[in-house]
Amino acid sequence: MQRFFLPPVAWVVSVVAMVILQRAWPVWRVPELASAWTGPVGLALGLVGLTIAQWHARLFRRIGTNINTFREPDKLTTAGLFAHTRNPMYLGMLLALVGVAVALGALSAWLPVLWFFGLAQAWYIPAEERNLSARFGSQYQDYCRDVRRWI
């Protein structure tokens, strides 16, 4: 299960679920939320989120460290947004989902956003933190003390 259900898979499942929920329960669509500005604002948020996630995924590749959530990390990086948040890739994916929810303008579209956040908070991030703590010890603990999990 861990090998298949990596964060990008959960992200795609979330986007698909958002569209399905928005179409299946149009009564949950709030006209005030679906105004002329929600599409462009949602698109902008989504693009910023995807850019953040991709930029940091490329950073991992550039420095030669493992990006797989459940594998032992090779290196501890504090470059880029890692200096301000321990999870910029999850933050970027979550921001992209918020963008999709805003663009869809339906309350039901927010359910998968909450699901993805819960999954990251309860499963993905704790697994990574255990691996990082075991591999880097006090260096990682100092980093955790200085940098927040999210923002």
| Longest CA pairwise span in the chain (Å) | 52
pLDDT at 74: 93
pLDDT at 27: 56
Which amino acid does the sequence have at 150? W
Query: Can you give the residue ranges of every domain in the chain?
Result: 7-146
Residues in Cβ contact with 37 at an 8 Å cutoff, skipping those fewer than 6 apart: none
Question: What token pair was written down for 116?
Answer: 């993805």
Q: What is the mean pLDDT of each run of 10 residues along the chain (151 residues)?
A: 81 97 74 75 97 97 92 94 98 98 89 98 97 97 98 90
SS3 99: helix
Q: How far apart are CA 115 and CA 123, in angstroms?
A: 11
**Cβ atoms of residues 38 and 22 within 8 Å:** no
Q: How far apart are CA 135 and CA 144, in angstroms?
A: 14
Which amino acid does the sequence have at 58? R
Please report which residue ranges of 1-151 form alpha helices under DSSP H: 7-24, 38-63, 88-104, 110-119, 125-136, 138-146
pLDDT at 26: 62
Residues in Cβ contact with 12 at an 8 Å cutoff, skipping those fewer than 6 apart: none
Residues in Cβ contact with 87 at an 8 Å cutoff, skipping those fewer than 6 apart: 120, 125, 149, 150
pLDDT at 31: 67
